[in-house]
Structure 1
């Protein structure tokens, strides 16, 4: 996905990382245990309640702080996602005790796991990077009300129900920042754009199923990745599988 170079999940007990650098931002959450690491010659820790952001090109190491080891999930973000202006602030304070941010990072990992929820993953990444910027730049997270923009975005999504549209593409077409799109839409319609689009695709799938098309064909006709992708969302929204619904 654009903006994310690599996703890495790992559990370690004895392994210790030697000092090294990355040319990407390292966004880390710990699911169990604790990590000790040195960043730019200063000692730090990472625990489950925190989100850790390590800047590119700054040396760091890593090891378990407990004999039982640790389990972590990491996103390596392309350097341009956050730019270089936040490097100094993240060197000074790499760990953030922000429950909402941690929940959003967890949700992004969940969205990336099936590799079929591109718009959701892009939307979640946009909100994460916005919150990180405001944490490290000392500002407050803005809130936007823009009903006209939300309606234009909804109309754009309605024209692209069976086809994919990326958040960046939509932002370019509507001449606004991706995060502005996500916030304006969510505040106006009470749901994020990816959930709205999924609902429209389920509605389209229902019409195709009632017209007699088989579920495997309906999946691609309605814009889903494959039949299992259709079944997962269809069953979650309607409480019944596509095949049973058609019968």
Structure 2
């Protein structure tokens, strides 16, 4: 009996997704996906869709006009406006999406976003990627809020350019924020709370602090916490105890930032200190 030859099976469409809702004001949902042969039908959201594509490209229709997502493009799709989406090639696309409520961009920006939803801005693209990284780690809410504020400010700059004569952040405001961060080193403070306490817009806070001290507020707070952790580790306290004592979410949170700033994990640092003693 002759062997039967079967036609090779075509690869199954890939649909890999992850989604979560971080504790950051203004972020409704974070959504990551890898699709090969899936096409979105026309649909709407009640939130802003901030989209970056890491691999491949997406073609979509918005307000009866075709758009796409080439390299370094950030796409901002407004709420309540129908759109679809499909892969440009057979390899599909890998995307990261933030759904933002109207507290970050109000309805007055919907019209400009419909006219120009695709923003070719490598700086904005990098900042959105950094924001996704911050949102993926519990305990980095201040960093996520700071990065989201800068992203929102840059989006508004594209949709509504800055008018001459608008007030700029000042050094006094930066100093007051630094005093607040120092006072709340362990318990922390959200950007929204800091803005309320200092009676300033969140974007003004971040800009003023970064311009005055050459470092973003979340970077300053984390470096101060790591500095505090170093002292406690050299006093002989274990990393698992040092983490909550210095404001970190848990030991892995401490380890990630400690390694970034010191070059070694906290346990190794502590052992080095004991050896020197």
The two structures have a TM-score, normalised by structure 2, of: 0.86
1:121-140 alignment to 2 at 5 Å? 121-139=144-162
In the alignment of these two chains, the number of paired residues is 247
Q: Secondary structure at the match of 1:7?
A: strand
Counterpart residue number, 2:70: 47
2:119 maps to 1:99? no
2:205 maps to 1:181? yes
**1:116-139: CA deviation from partner (whole Å, max 9, x where unpaired):** 211111001001111111111133
Larger radius of gyration: 2
Q: 1:242 aligns with which of 242, 259, 266?
A: 266
Counterpart residue number, 1:204: 228
After the TM superposition, list the runs of 4 or more consecutive aligned residues in structure 1 that deviate by more than 6 angstroms: 140-143
Measured after TM superposition, the shift of residue 206 of structure 1 is 1.6
Q: 1:7 aligns with which of 23, 30, 38?
A: 30
Distance (whole Å) between structure 2 residues aligned to residue 165 and residue 145 of structure 1: 20
Measured after TM superposition, the shift of residue 140 of structure 1 is 6.5
Q: 2:59 aligns with which of 36, 52, 62?
A: 36
**1:21-80: CA deviation from partner (whole Å, max 9, x where unpaired):** 000000001111111111112111112221000000010011011122111110000122
Distance (whole Å) between structure 2 residues aligned to residue 236 and residue 129 of structure 1: 27
Assess if the C-alpha contact under 8 Å between 2:138 and 2:249 holds in 1. no
2:248 maps to 1:224? yes
**1:87-116: CA deviation from partner (whole Å, max 9, x where unpaired):** 111111110111111111011011111222
Counterpart residue number, 1:159: 183
Q: 1:26 aligns with which of 49, 53, 64?
A: 49
Assess if the C-alpha contact under 8 Å between 2:77 and 2:114 holds in 1. yes
Instruction: Return 5+ residue gaps in structure 2 as ranges.
Output: 1-23, 272-277
Distance (whole Å) between structure 2 residues aligned to residue 91 and residue 181 of structure 1: 30
2:195 maps to 1:171? yes
1:113-124 alignment to 2 at 5 Å? 113-124=136-147
**1:131-176: CA deviation from partner (whole Å, max 9, x where unpaired):** 1111111336979451111111001000011112100000100000
Measured after TM superposition, the shift of residue 221 of structure 1 is 0.3
The two structures have a TM-score, normalised by structure 1, of: 0.96
Distance (whole Å) between structure 1 residues aligned to residue 45 and residue 199 of structure 2: 33
Measured after TM superposition, the shift of residue 210 of structure 1 is 2.2
Tell me: CA distance 1:63–1:143, structure 2 relative to 1, closer, same or farther (3 Å): farther
Measured after TM superposition, the shift of residue 241 of structure 1 is 2.2
Q: Secondary structure at the match of 1:51?
A: strand
Compute the RMSD of aligned alpha carbons.
Answer: 1.5
Q: 1:108 aligns with which of 116, 131, 147?
A: 131
